[in-house]
Amino acid sequence: MVALPLLPRPAWGRAIGANERLSVAKIAVGGMGWSDLSEIVTHAGVHIAAVCDVDARHRPKMKERFPDASWFSDWRELLDTLGDKVDAVVISTPDHMHAPISMQAMQLGKHVYCQKPLGHSALENRRLAEFAAAHPKVITQMGTQRSAMIGRRQQLALLQEGRVGRIESVHAWSDRPMGWWPQGGPRPTNDQPVPEWLAWDLFLGVAPERPYVPDAYHPFMWRGTYDFGCGALGDMGCHILDHPFLAAGLTYPTQVRVDAADGTADQYPTAETITLTYASTDRTVSGGVKVTWYDGGRRPTNASLGIPEGVDIRGNAVVVIGEKGVMLCPLDPERNKEGQMVLSDEPLMWDRSAKAVKLDLPKLERRNHWHHWIDGCFGKTKPEAGFGFAGLLCESLSVGAAASRFPNRDLAYDAKSIAFPQEPEAAALLRKPYRQGWSVDGLSG
């Protein structure tokens, strides 16, 4: 099939009546796709009209669970066939297919929930954010489910209240990709015939052609490959950096530097330190802000952050340093062998002399991230990670991911032209071309 044409539609984002059900098409149903689907169907207002996956092994389970839903292997055929019978699309594919499907669905007037990161390239993220801003009746949400956690929302509230004062710097880290997926290796070999259950051409989608290699890409192992994923930064940066980004009022970076040693022509480095520089805002110090990301086991020292030595900062977390103090925001609570919570996800704060500061945490109600988006489609809520903000945040992540191929160099970023002006070769990575036959209006190239 060729890419869908733009189809006329009388209104962008059909308003769902109170007595109606939201007709949803679920695209990709393995792994995180199944998790998303499992949450969405618990909302009483949802009807699953169609499911789509390149892996036919999921079909029996889907037919048993949703006997009335249509099955597709090709998302383009799904949108072309069902037309106005679908109100919303939920996307849980590999990163490189997020933007093409999201944009096509929005252009057809569908509400869209898409897993993170929103887009694969800087251009994709910019265009999705622009389209969402221009069509506010299309309700969008990026899949940063942790943003709905009470502890994380408390972190955001405290930062927005100015508890740390004007923000000076942000430091965030993740243990990934260690043990999750491969990075820092050569392009996989051992090409094999494509199994009959896998639509390999549809898996590739907009990405360049490459042979099928068992267990190298599908399922899940694709994230460290440049053509398909955004590495650890794209995987976890959306979860960890979103609230500091909001609290500081950041927009586009002006410079990026990636310190890494073992990236290859096909895969991201195994460990990186990525520094993004931003202009100052009314919520930051006047000299601008540096956001530093560490992955693959790297992280700053307690002393460098102004945190007492006895505080365990392992795991996934972010530290926001301001004029008044330092706030540590854990990403997830840790649990012991019995499954009991050991370390809360509540924020901790110290003043600039490393003395503990007592925080009166705001009282917040529990929120279901997926239901919040669905309720938005019914006009009841405004999702916390709509594409306007998600595209802005993920553009920074795409800039960092692109710079990973040009390590240990300072790259100036021109947001107006979406380019690295002094590095044309690196700039090309910010505007990736789509494979022939897969163009989507407003995205490729």
Do 123 and 106 fall into the same domain?
yes
Do 336 and 273 fall into the same domain?
yes
Residue 277 lies in a domain: yes
pLDDT in tens, the chain (445 residues): 334 443 334 345 666 766 689 999 999 999 999 999 999 999 999 999 999 999 999 999 999 999 999 999 999 999 999 988 999 999 999 999 999 999 999 999 999 999 999 999 999 999 999 999 999 999 999 999 999 988 899 999 999 999 999 999 999 999 999 889 999 999 999 999 999 999 999 999 999 999 999 999 999 999 999 999 999 999 999 999 999 999 999 999 999 999 999 999 999 999 999 999 999 999 999 999 999 999 999 999 999 999 999 898 988 999 999 999 999 998 876 666 676 655 567 899 999 999 999 999 999 998 999 999 999 999 999 998 999 999 999 999 999 999 999 999 999 999 999 999 998 888 889 998 999 999 999 896 5
Q: What is the spatial distance between Cα 286 and Cα 280, in angstroms, rounded to a whole number?
A: 5
Residue 2 lies in a domain: no
Residue 10 lies in a domain: no
- Polymer length in residues for the chain: 445
Do 123 and 251 fall into the same domain?
no
- What does the pLDDT look like over 212-222, one tens digit per residue? 999 999 999 99
Do 136 and 246 fall into the same domain?
no
CATH number, domain at 298? 3.30.360
Residue 225 lies in a domain: yes
Count how many domains the chain has.
2
Do 132 and 188 fall into the same domain?
no
Number of Cβ within 10 Å of residue 5's Cβ equals 9
Residue 74 lies in a domain: yes
Q: Minimal CA–CA distance to 412: which of 253, 233, 251?
A: 253
Number of Cβ within 10 Å of residue 163's Cβ equals 20
Amino acid residing at 4: L
Q: Is the pTM of this model over 0.85?
A: yes
Helix, strand or coil, per DSSP, at residue 299: coil
Inter-CA distances, 346 with 150, 208, 332, Å: 8, 43, 9
Cα dihedral 214, 116, 37, 87 sign = negative
What DSSP letter does each residue of 368-404 carry, written as one string?
-HHHHHHHHHTTS---TT-HHHHHHHHHHHHHHHHHT
Do 283 and 358 fall into the same domain?
yes
Do 380 and 403 fall into the same domain?
no
Do 217 and 252 fall into the same domain?
yes
Do 219 and 274 fall into the same domain?
yes
Order across the sheet with 140-143: list the strands: 70-72, 46-52, 22-27, 88-91, 111-115, 140-143
Residue 12 lies in a domain: no
Continuous H helices in 135-193: 150-160
Name the residue range of residue 323's domain: 150-364+394-445
Q: What is the spatial distance between Cα 387 and Cα 207, in angstroms, rounded to a whole number?
A: 23
Beta carbons of 49 and 72 less than 8 angstroms apart = no
Cα dihedral 279, 284, 290, 294 sign = negative
Residue 237 lies in a domain: yes
pLDDT of residue 99: 98
CATH number, domain at 139? 3.40.50.720
What DSSP letter does each residue of 199-257 carry, written as one string?
-HHHHHTTSPP----TTTSTTTTTTTBTTT--HHHHHHHHHHHHHHHHHHT---EEEEE
pLDDT of residue 334: 63
Q: What is the spatial distance between Cα 207 and Cα 218, in angstroms, rounded to a whole number?
A: 14
Q: What is the spatial distance between Cα 434 and Cα 438, in angstroms, rounded to a whole number?
A: 6
pLDDT of residue 427: 82
Do 341 and 282 fall into the same domain?
yes
Inter-CA distances, 439 with 211, 241, 332, Å: 21, 31, 38
pLDDT of residue 329: 93
Do 119 and 34 fall into the same domain?
yes
How far is residue 433 CA from its own chain's centroid?
21
What DSSP letter does each residue of 420-438 carry, written as one string?
-TT-HHHHGGGSPPPPTT-
Residue 265 lies in a domain: yes
Do 251 and 314 fall into the same domain?
yes
